Amino acid sequence: MPNPKLTERFAVRLLACAGLGAAGVLAFAPFGLFWLAPPVWLGLLLLLRRAADVRQAALYGFVFGLGFFLCGVSWVYVSLSVFGGMPWWLAGFAAFLFCTVLALFPALAAAVFKRWQPAADWRQAPFFAALVAGSDWLRSWIFTGFPWLAAGYAQTPPSPLAGFAPLIGVHGLSLLAVLSGTLLLCRWRGALVVGAVLLAGFALRQVAWTMPDGEPITVALIQGNVPQEMKFRPETLIRTLDLYHELVAAHPAQLTLLPETALPIFFEQLPPAYVEALKAAVASHGGDLILGTLTGDNTHYWNSALSLGRSPLQIYSKTHLVPFGEMIPPGFSWFMQLATIPMSSFERGPEQQPPLEVAGRRVAVNICYEDAFGEEIIAALPQAGILANLSNTAWFGRSLAQPQHLQIARLRALESGRPMLRATNTGITAVIAPNGTVVAQLPPFTQGVLQAEVTAYQGLTPYARFGNGPALTLMLLLLAAAIHRRRA
């Protein structure tokens, strides 16, 4: 018969794991409690040290992951139920299943930690940190990848660790964020190391890895705030087209950006007179326009960005598609029949696409979810001097998705040493400086135009040169050292 005290203690630890996971979300936007991340990971490590065996440790990691992802990314329910037309119970089950799959990654890290747990505290700390960061990296590419809420994303400015982003990227930040908590196991020696890391990060934030290239240009980022439930209705098409033409014409700039699928119709089907009117509105003052729309036909179509204006017409088509939202994974056509998500089977754009040459600058466009993949963004460097993200997170309603997505974009600016322009349908439209700070932004769920001056940048950060290689190498070295010393 099980000991009641042991059973009660086990239940308390499971609740503690779930609570720590939920608290971990507070480290990210919009809450911004970046300093909370290290103690959260330290708390999980302390619980894993008390786990009886590998199976129990995996369960602790899994419950932690459930608390983390159910609180952090359950906004997928909104897209499936409110805008996807799926029955609430099925949408809830699908969202829970999605978070369950994501929770397997911290469960894996916890199980591996327990299986090869070093004896000494000073070995456990880096071993666990490398496992957590490694599981985040694994999550960023397996099954096409979902790197949302990787631990490093919480460390945008004003976090001192943000200074390391241009060197080792978001996954390197994940390693340092977890390490900053777990090293406190080593008492004053660990505290000294953490203090040195924080001071180094603060010093690195003062380093300019890239430099301005040319004079500033004026930009106008348009936030149409078109309700998602109305966006693809035929009866609202003319109203949407008129809205964007009016906003473009009323806010002249050298470079104007419209959001993802701002014109919810195939570009080839747009009235020629409307296309000419848009082109004339920006070309009359020597400007260019980048707009989000669909290209192709009813059989083969792409989520694209096109340029109109003074420069020749150029097209960028989205390469990294969102599973279920933009592409149907093999064997899941039945699932999509239960939802009414328009245009849910896009073609992938070409792997190699040059930056758009507009407004006398080279602009690397990425569409919505693509800016979550750092190594894909730096593929356009050093040619591109400006990054531009066209997005439509109206699919997720008034949830954490908007501020979380803005925080992801801030990391991309830091890693690349380039300004990032974000033109979104419902928010958050913003201008981000190369150092990751938000220069200006529009309130979400409002209609407006963000006007600013932006300077292109040249040069390469260490991360832009080497990608995730240095961070992954450091993780492997820490893992190998811990396992080797344990066996010695």
Count the neighbouring beta carbons within 10 Å of the beta carbon of residue 368: 25
Q: Note the Cα 336 to chain centre separation in Å.
A: 24
Q: Shortest CA distance to 185 belongs to which of 253, 238, 136, 117?
A: 117
Give Cα separations from 188 to 10, 191, 335 (angstroms).
31, 5, 54
Which residues touch 352 (CB under 8 Å, ≥6 apart)? 379
Nearest-angstrom CA–CA distance, 150 and 161: 14
H or E element at residue 438 = strand 438-441
Nearest-angstrom CA–CA distance, 350 and 379: 13
Nearest-angstrom CA–CA distance, 365 and 302: 14
Alpha helices, H only, 318-420:
333-337, 374-377, 401-416
Nearest-angstrom CA–CA distance, 159 and 164: 10
Tell me: cis bond preceding 315? Omega within 30 of 0 counts: no
Question: Between 54-72 and 88-115, two packed helices, what is the crossing angle to 10 degrees?
Answer: 140
Give φ, ψ of 132 to 5 degrees: -65, -45
Tokens 């001192």, located at residue: 160
The DSSP code sequence of 105-150 is: HHHHHHHHHHHT--SSHHHHHHHHHHHHHHHHHHHTTGGG---TT-
Residues annotated as part of the active site: 260, 318, 368
Which residues touch 233 (CB under 8 Å, ≥6 apart)? none
